[in-house]
Amino acid sequence: MNVLRSLIVAAILAPLSLAAQPETRPRDEATETFVRGFVRFLAYHEAGHMLMGQIAGLSNNPDWSSADREDYADKFAMILLEPDADDPDGIAEIISAAGGWLQVDNSLIRNDPHAPPHQRAQDIVCLMYGSNPPAFAEFADLVDPDTDCAALYQAMENEIDEVFRDYSGQYGRSIEIIYAAPTGGMEDARQFLRDSGVVEDLKDDIEAEFYLTNRTTIRAMSCEGKAKSDTFYSDTVRSANPEDDHFIITLCYEMIDARLKYGMRGFE
Ligand SMILES: [Zn+2]
């Protein structure tokens, strides 16, 4: 695992050393790519939860543990974000997401249903490699040799295709986007999120591939005092009539703010 860590960290830092011009950049480009990649991965992970609930009804499946659901949401994010081999920006963002998990201090994490951060990083790299082993041959050394990443990728891709994707050519309900006014000094985080285009990309990707039957909102806001602030989450406001259930993905400005300031270290 140390080899994986050092190689991915090197991959993250490599563009920095080429592009470093600190006198002209208030916040360096490597940090921006890193935070954008991590935020995008987490937002798409929450979309995975939303689609599991809205399309497949998997959120309440008694056969699934919460760890199963978290693992599935990560894989869902990877399938949606799968970069082409000739898309260096997409690859850099995915590597950033994996690199982000590698930097998390495991000892700080308590009662988390997600897989350990290093496992999440390993799974991200495995699925990216597995999506196209010849094109991503440089990552072959990073994946567990006992894992058939190409088979894992194909199985997940097929499952999402069969269970979730819609090929009717019809659009379902469109996703509503809310950027709530920031409070508590979160202006920079809100601006970063807007500039990143992550929310709009997510809306477009979901609407294009999946048929939404319910009201769905992506809401960015200052969460302090309202919810656990240093995170993103997905929840459902239930109604007497399930057709009126409202699915909400919440992106807390505080999570973005903390990553922009401190990177991943100390992430809980
Ligand atoms: Zn989750």
CA of 74 from ligand 1 middle (Å) equals: 8
Res 61: pLDDT: 77
Mean pLDDT for 235-240 is 94
pLDDT band at 268 (very low <50, low <70, confident <90, very high): very low
Does the structure show a pLDDT above 60 at 99?
A: yes
Spacing, Cα 70 to ligand 1 middle (Å)? 5
Position 22 scores a pLDDT of 41
Q: How far is the CA of 147 from the centre of ligand 1 (A)?
A: 23
More reliable by pLDDT, 27 or 18: 27
**116 touches 104 (CB < 8 A):** no
166-173 LR contacts (CB < 8 Å, sep 24+): 166/209, 166/210, 166/211, 168/211, 170/211, 171/207, 171/211, 172/207, 172/210, 172/211, 172/212, 172/213, 173/212, 173/213, 173/214, 173/215, 173/216
Distance in Å, CA 144 to ligand 1 centroid: 24
Q: Is the pLDDT of residue 83 over 80?
A: yes
Could you tell me which residue, 16 or 146, shows the higher pLDDT? 146
Give yes or no for residue 105 having a pLDDT over 80: no
Distance (Å) from CA 198 to ligand 1 centroid: 18
Residue 66 has pLDDT above 90, yes or no: no
Q: How many whole angstroms from 150 Cα to the centroid of ligand 1?
A: 24
> What b/e string do you get for 84-98 counting C-beta neighbours within 10 Å, with b at 16 or more?
eeeeeebbbbbbbbb
Compute the distance from residue 9 Cα to the ligand 1 centre, in Å.
24
Expressed in angstroms and rounded, the spacing between residue 204 Cα and the centre of ligand 1 is 21
Q: 46 C-alpha vs ligand 1 centroid, how far in Å?
A: 6
Compute, in angstroms, the gap from residue 26 CA to the centroid of ligand 1.
33
Q: What is the pLDDT of residue 13?
A: 52
Strand pairing class (176-179; 246-252)? unpaired
CA 230 to centroid of ligand 1, rounded, Å: 13
Asked if the model's pLDDT at residue 267 lies above 80, the reply is no
- Position with higher pLDDT, 169 vs 2: 169
CA 114 to ligand 1 centroid distance, Å: 7
- 87 alpha carbon to ligand 1 midpoint, in Å? 27
Write down the pLDDT at residue 17.
Answer: 37
Do residues 200 and 229 make contact, with C-beta atoms less than 8 angstroms apart? no
- % of the chain exceeding 70 in pLDDT: 85
| Ligand 1 centroid – CA 80 distance (Å) | 15
**234 bridge partner residues:** 249
Q: What is the pLDDT of residue 59?
A: 72
Q: What is the mean pLDDT of the chain?
A: 86
The alpha carbon of 251 and the centre of ligand 1 are apart by a number of angstroms equal to 13
Ligand 1: distance of its center to the CA of 148 in Å? Answer: 24
Distance 21 CA to ligand 1 centre (A): 37
CA of 14 to the centre of ligand 1 (A): 30
pLDDT tens digits along 240-252 = 998 999 999 999 9
As a whole-number percent, the residues of the chain with pLDDT over 90 amount to 64
pLDDT tens for each residue of 41-50: 999 999 999 9
The mean-pLDDT minimum among 21-30, 69-78, 134-143, 253-262 falls in 21-30
The answer to whether 12 touches 34, Cβ cutoff 8 Å, is yes
Least confident of 23-27, 126-130, 160-164, 212-216: 23-27
Give me ligand 1 centre to Cα 45, in Å. Answer: 6
* pLDDT greater than 60 at residue 194: yes
pLDDT, tens digit, for every residue of 151-171?
999 999 999 999 999 999 999
Most confident of 25-34, 117-126, 174-183, 219-228: 174-183
**What's the gap in Å between 225 CA and the centre of ligand 1?**
21
Asked if residue 208 has pLDDT above 50, the reply is: yes
- Give residue 113's pLDDT band: very low, low, confident or very high (50, 70, 90): confident
